[in-house]
Structure 1
Amino acid sequence: QEGKVLAPARMKPSQLETIGHALGDLHVIGKAYKKGIDNRFSFERIADLYLTVRNRLPNYFRKICRTLDDEVEYLTRYLEGKLPKGVIHGDIFSDNLLFRGEKMTAMLDFDAACRGKFIFDIATAVNALCFVDGAYSLDRFRYLLSGYESVRTLSLAEWDAFPNELRFSSLRFTVTRLHDFFLSPVDGKNRVDKDFREFFERLRVLRREREGGMEPLLMAMATGYDYRKYQKVKATERRQA
């Protein structure tokens, strides 16, 4: 594929909008696809995987485990299941996106693609692309979301669920990275060693255990839903049906 990978910190506003737009396109197409594609990373599976990993972690992980135990318990009670679903990418990270200038030339690595909640896919993109220098960037969040909403408007239920989906996305990548590091077979040079702490730090910000731009993000989510705009979209969908 032609194009190059950009570090999130080097992405321009127009490129973030382009990514949002492409993700919106994927979801609009994916909504029509009704066949079930097994979701290896559903909350239930991640919670089970965490229990497996937890029993194998060294003693010095006790404090981290307390946080993760608490997070699993919280999400068990507050994660919303009845949200718009369809085919999602599941892994929108900068190294899966190729750019040539302002233009995105490819979205790669559909290994985690499945039928899932659209808002989880968006939350993962926000976690991957809008967290820079230890904090969430409100501007980057707005560019990504404005690109997405130019194609597909989020419902009120999705805006409400957004903070918890960010938390779940952070938990998911913390747990799978811990699993890959501690439980995957080691074959010398090929050990998977993506640092779980990247997403654990995001989770701590989202849980308000440390500063990191969470308050402005929550405010943007609380005010992001435009009732009139959503009604207009629903009316257009009904006419097209």
Structure 2
Amino acid sequence: MAVFTEVSTKEARELLRRLQLGKLLELRGIEGGIENTNYFVTCEQGEYVLTLFERLTAEQLPFYLHLMKHLAHAGIPVPDPQADKHGEILHQVCGKPAALATKLRGKSQLSPQEAHCAAVGTMLARMHLAASSYERQQPNLRGLPWWNETVPVVLPHIGAEPAALLQSELAYQNHVAASSAYAALPRGPIHADLFRDNVMFEGEELTGLFDFYFAGVDTFLFDLAVCLNDWCIDLSTGAHAAPRAQAMIDAYQAVRPLTVHERALLPAMLRAGALRFWISRLWDFYLPREAAMLKPHDPTHFERVLRQRAAHPVTL
């Protein structure tokens, strides 16, 4: 989350008027993240998050917003997009497509313990089961086709050794994706970005998941791998944190047991998750966009995670 587009109090008041949410009490830009413009909005009816979409189009956005509605109705604690009197949940602010969704209670747990990882595993599995009945279709826009397009763009900006690793891992992931085992993996709408800062807790209670704007139809295993690569590693080295990982996997499987093919391909998907975020961080770091409060993430973090995943495969 960042601020690419400045929203005035006048524009915020007009949106609240259309949504019949009462008077604006506070409008505050949110620091962090790299994709969209985000503000906290406090009004007479409560607290919300206003998002202006800087890359996603009005044609793409209904998939994300209606997925959040679908999950909220299924009892998954996610932000609920607010509708106008016509039932429309996609709005326009400052000439940009926008949404106003409920603000979740709690705060991010940036130093998770086993109990937090287990809670994420349980909720991720519940979310996958609930999402299975969602009928809209949209691919993971940061999936393999995007990796293949983006790697040639970032290669000129990095040294020979990381470039060789990037190219060899991309070739490996193309090989995996062409396999019959990969084709057999269960799939459906996934979050695809469920990092520590996208989950809210009060103590050990998971109170919400948010930032669904990288969601898309992909393998459920990839979603689990993305979580394991953030929640269950040592952040300084990228090394696997086995007790936390086991807690997450056990909790996930208690709700949705992994298939034989998922168990076999977990090491490959852990590498895929690391590759995806290494590529996107390289892209954001070397080809940034201007934004107030924008802080690109360090791309070398996921290079370390990928090297760890390749050198020390995790087996079930």
Shorter-chain TM-score tier: 0.7 to 0.9
Structure 1 residue 64: deviation in Å? 0.7
Query: 1:77 matched to which residue of 2?
Result: 175
Matched, 1:25 2:126: yes
Counterpart Cα distance in 2 of 1:141 and 1:155: 18
Query: 1:226 matched to which residue of 2?
Result: none
In terms of Rg, which structure is larger? 2
Q: Higher strand share goes to which structure? A: 2
1:123-168, Cα deviation, whole Å (9 max, x unpaired):
0000011111421011111100111111100000011111111111
* Aligned positions, number: 207
Query: 2:262 matched to which residue of 1?
Result: 158
Taking structure 1 as the reference length, what is the TM-score of the superposition? 0.81
Aligned partner of 1:143: which letter? Answer: A
Structure 1 residue 183: deviation in Å? 1.2
Shift in CA distance, 34/85, structure 1 to aligned 2, threshold 3 Å: farther
1:40-89, Cα deviation, whole Å (9 max, x unpaired):
1111211211112224x15xx22110110111111111232431111101
Counterpart Cα distance in 2 of 1:204 and 1:184: 25
Matched, 1:138 2:242: yes
Counterpart Cα distance in 1 of 2:134 and 2:198: 23
Query: 2:64 matched to which residue of 1?
Result: none
Counterpart Cα distance in 1 of 2:197 and 2:106: 11
Structure 2 counterparts to residues 58-207 of structure 1, below 5 A: 58=158, 61-79=159-177, 80-132=182-234, 133-134=236-237, 135-187=239-291, 189-207=292-310
Moved more, 44-53 or 124-133: 44-53
Aligned partner of 1:202: which letter? Answer: V
Counterpart Cα distance in 1 of 2:218 and 2:271: 16
Aligned partner of 1:142: which letter? Answer: Q
Contact 1:21/1:147 (<8 A) preserved: yes
Taking structure 2 as the reference length, what is the TM-score of the superposition? 0.63
Q: Which SS does the other structure have where 2:217 is aligned?
A: strand
Ranges in structure 1 where 5+ consecutive residues have no aligned partner: 209-213, 222-241
Contact 2:106/2:200 (<8 A) preserved: yes
Aligned residues: percent identity? 27
Structure 1 residue 97: deviation in Å? 0.7
Counterpart Cα distance in 2 of 1:115 and 1:75: 18
Moved more, 23-32 or 75-84: 75-84
Contact 1:181/1:191 (<8 A) preserved: no
Query: 2:112 matched to which residue of 1?
Result: 11
Matched, 1:43 2:141: no
Query: 2:13 matched to which residue of 1?
Result: none
Counterpart Cα distance in 2 of 1:178 and 1:81: 29
Counterpart Cα distance in 2 of 1:201 and 1:138: 17
Ranges in structure 2 where 5+ consecutive residues have no aligned partner: 1-103
What is the alpha-carbon root mean square deviation over aligned residues?
1.5
Q: Higher helix share goes to which structure? A: 1
1:187-223, Cα deviation, whole Å (9 max, x unpaired):
5x54441011111101111221xxxxx25x32xx2xx
